[in-house]
Structures are given as C-alpha cells and as structure tokens.
Amino acid sequence: MTWTEVTNAMVEDGDADKQWEAITSSSDGAKLAATITLGNTWMPSDSGATWNEITVGDGSNHWNGITSSSDGTKLAAVVTLGNIWRSSDSGATWTEVIPDDGLSNWDGIASSSDGTKLVAIKWLGNIFTSSDSGTTWTEVSFLNSTESGTTYWNGIIFSGWHVACCNQRQYRHPRVFSSLDLKCQRSSWRSLL
C-alpha cells in the first residue's frame, strides 16, 4: 500500500492551518468526508484528489466525529458543545438532530454498514442509539446508575450488532467495553480490557 499526501492544493490559500478532526469513507474508498475542528465538512468529488467545503449550520461547528454507511450516502457527525448532524445525500445537505437537551459534549459516532443504525457517545455521559438513520435517538445508561453519566468516553466502533467503546480516567486504568446488541442494555456489557 502506498500513501499520497494531498497538500495545500486541496484547500484555498490560507486554509492550510486547519485542524482536521475526523474522516470517514465508503467501503470502496470512493466517497470520503472529513471535518475540521472549527468549521465545516469537506468532501472530495474525485476520491480525495481535490476537496470541496460544505457549509453546515453556521459554519463554526466544533466537529468531533463523523461516520458513513458503506455506500457513502448516509453520513452522521457529532459536534462538541452541539448536536448530531445527519445527511442522506452523501453530505450535500445536512439536518441537525437534537437527541437530548441540546448542546451536548458529543465525542464519537459510529454507523452500521447500511447507515440505519447509529451509536453516539457523550464525553461525561451515556451512549445514544438510533435505528432510523439518526432521526430519533434513545439514551442508554451504561453499566449501573453510579457509573452512568460519569464515563469519559473517547472512542467507539460499531459492527451493526456489537458496540465497543473505550473510556479514560473513570477507572485507574482505561478500559474497553463491548455490548452484545444495539440496545446496549446494562446486562449486555462486558469489559474486554
């Protein structure tokens, strides 16, 4: 495998100092989407050779994660001190979704291959699941009531049936947890590490 750096040619002059935060890809690599720390989403029209900025909301979101269906048509992204955004047209247009009280500290998001099932995590919070491509969300308490709402999540993956999350600082040593189903019921979680 070889890698090619896409240099400043992909963005306008003066934009080279952007802090890229997250990236996702369709399973064939033809559709990509990336986010920057404070700004918009970026999409290439040619598998990543050149990139186009897509304005989302007011253009000043602090993106923290993005995920894609395997065909690249369904995207979902999370914003720190914000909400969840979703797209069903490969990122051309976006809709803001407010899963709870709004302005949450979202830390990550993952998608099933068809994009209908989504799992999102909050920093210092619980896990949220969606079975309708992010239109509606259900909050899931993690493990037990004393740990719920105090988990410092910082990573998530999702196979479509199994969810795995990692945390930090809640325990003396960071841990990785796995749930056996999308409902993420308390009884389905186990510590992997």
Does residue 10 belong to any structural domain of this protein?
Answer: no
Does pTM surpass 0.85?
Answer: no
What is the per-residue pLDDT across 142-175, written as a single tens digit (0 to 9) for each? 654 444 445 666 666 666 555 665 565 555 555 6
Does residue 127 belong to any structural domain of this protein?
Answer: yes
Does residue 101 belong to any structural domain of this protein?
Answer: yes
Does residue 66 belong to any structural domain of this protein?
Answer: yes
For CA atoms 114, 192, 174, 172, the dihedral sign is: positive
Does residue 12 belong to any structural domain of this protein?
Answer: no
Does residue 1 belong to any structural domain of this protein?
Answer: no
What is the per-residue pLDDT across 94-128, written as a single tens digit (0 to 9) for each? 999 987 766 688 888 989 899 998 888 887 777 88
Rounded Cα–Cα distance for residues 81 and 62 (Å): 8
Whose CA is closest to 179, among 193, 191, 171, 167?
A: 191
**pLDDT at residue 28 greater than cutoff 50:** yes
In a 3-state reduction of DSSP, which class is residue 51? strand
Look at the chain and report how many structural domains it folds into. Answer: 1
80 in Cβ contact with 62 (< 8 Å): yes
| pLDDT at 115 (0 to 100) | 93
Range of the domain at 168: 18-191
Rounded Cα–Cα distance for residues 47 and 13 (Å): 21
Does residue 160 belong to any structural domain of this protein?
Answer: yes
H helices of the chain, in order, are none
Give the domain CATH number at 126: 2.130.10.10
Q: If 0-12 CB within 10 Å is exposed, 13-18 middle and 19+ buried, where does residue 187 land?
A: exposed
Highest mean pLDDT among 40-44, 100-104, 186-190: 40-44
Does residue 5 belong to any structural domain of this protein?
Answer: no
